[in-house]
Structure 1
Amino acid sequence: MKLIFIYGPPGAGKLTVAKELRRATGFKLFDNHVSIECVETVFDFGTEPFSRLVGQIRLDIIEEAARHEVAGVIFTFVYAHPQDAPFVEKICAAVERHGGEVCLVQLTCDKNSLEQRVPAESRARRGKVATLELLREIMDRHDLFSPVPDRESLEIDNTDLAPEEAARRVVEHYDLKRA
């Protein structure tokens, strides 16, 4: 299995690019908000059981996909350095343990563009970061712009790039074939 692990700050275009990648490759798309929405029906966002269960669901789904030789999965994630590095390593180890490959893609975007993109009705409807106040608070508290350590990431500045072009760069860089 190939896991295309797309990470970056809120508003960088992870899901938009992931959808284009799905069109180009036929890979399955696992949006990180699916696990959040599931767990949030029972536990409040940010609580210990919420965080633990969201992480476990993500890990279990990705590992099962690798174990059952799903051709490809695209996963989106807001990576905060350094606290999320152990989780990313667990995901990578789970995929690699079953003979899979992890292709890390860091989507970056300048802060002005993030601030223009975040206050969107579509983001609010999905429970995503959708206010400038929350975006700024998160960016002040967390390093959302560092790459995952000790692994190669394809870095794409998505500030002025069409999603189709970003997806094309991922396909080309990782030599992805249609599933």
Structure 2
Amino acid sequence: MLVHINGYPGAGKLTLGQRLAEAIGGKLVDNHSIYNLALALTELKSDAYFETLRAMRAIAFQRVLELPPATPVVATNAHMTDSAWGNENWDAWADLARRRGSRLLVVVLDCDPEELDRRIVSPDRAARRKLTDPAQFTGARTGRVLIDRDGDATLRFDTTGLSAEETFHRVLGFVRTEQAAAARV
């Protein structure tokens, strides 16, 4: 399976992705592992930036395709329906799941904008080269919608009042249910 976690910055994608990959014996491809090189060496949203993202994604996808088919993959992203890049990247992940013969499980983490702002300024985010200025991302505040299409199964919920532990258990339950359903087929 390929579990694609999509959420606004600060929703808890990386924490969830790390825990989930470990719990299901999978590999994690978090969005920062692909974005960090482009962010470090190119101008944000320039042609070189997107070229770098596509090259890093191609390398990551090649390695995913080389994994044993039974190895689950967990991916994290922050993609909105109104973003050309977000839609392109989302389609690439969905295509990867098909090429791999994997079920695509989509997990969308919504969160209250004020809570996202509170989480984004957390000091541990800066150490991981993550967004720390709420003004740089206004997606949730401006009503931008997270992509949630193309999955074989989708779980969408609000993490505002949930701890990381509660979020993890909700998603793990969803994944385990989908694993069991796939095993019965």
TM-score by length of 2: 0.81
Partners of 2:31 and 2:75 within 8 A in 1: yes
Q: Identity rate of aligned residues, in percent? A: 24
**Distance 1:116-1:42 versus aligned 2 partners, 3 A rule:** closer
After TM superposition, list the pairs within 5 Å mapping 1:99-118 onto structure 2: 99-118=101-120
2:93 counterpart residue number: 91
Whether the aligned pair in 1 keeps the contact of 2:4 and 2:76 (CA below 8 Å) is yes
| 1:146 aligned residue | 146
Listed as ranges, the matches of 1:22-101 within 5 Å are 22-69=21-68, 71-83=71-83, 84-101=86-103
Aligned residue runs from structure 1 range 127-138, under 5 A: 127-136=129-138, 138=139
**C-alpha distance in structure 1 between counterparts of 2:98 and 2:157, whole Å:** 24
Q: Is the 8 A contact 1:109 1:159 kept in 2?
A: yes
RMSD (Å), alpha carbons: 2.3
Shift of the 150–101 alpha-carbon distance from structure 1 to 2, 3 Å rule, reads closer
Q: Across the two proteins, how many residue pairs are aligned to each other? A: 174
Q: What is the letter of the counterpart of residue 122 of structure 1?
A: D
Counterpart contact for 2:10–2:119, Cα < 8 Å: yes
**Aligned-residue offset at 1:155:** 0.6
**Alpha carbons 1:6, 1:14 under 8 Å: kept:** yes
CA distance in 2 between counterparts of 1:59 and 1:7 reads: 19
Alignment CA distance shift 1:173-1:63 (3 Å) = farther
Partner of 1:10: 9
The runs of 5 or more residues in structure 1 that have no matched partner are: none
Q: For residue 183 of structure 2, what is the aligned residue in structure 1?
A: none
Pair 1:171–1:139, CA change in 2 (3 A)? closer
**Aligned residue in 2 for 1:166:** 167
**1:118 Cα shift?**
0.8
| Partner-residue secondary structure (3-state), 2:82 | coil
Q: Which has the higher contact order (CA 8 A, sep 6+)?
A: 1
Task: Please tell me the residue identity of whatever aligns with 1:156.
Answer: F
Separation in 1 of the partners of 2:163 and 2:115?
14
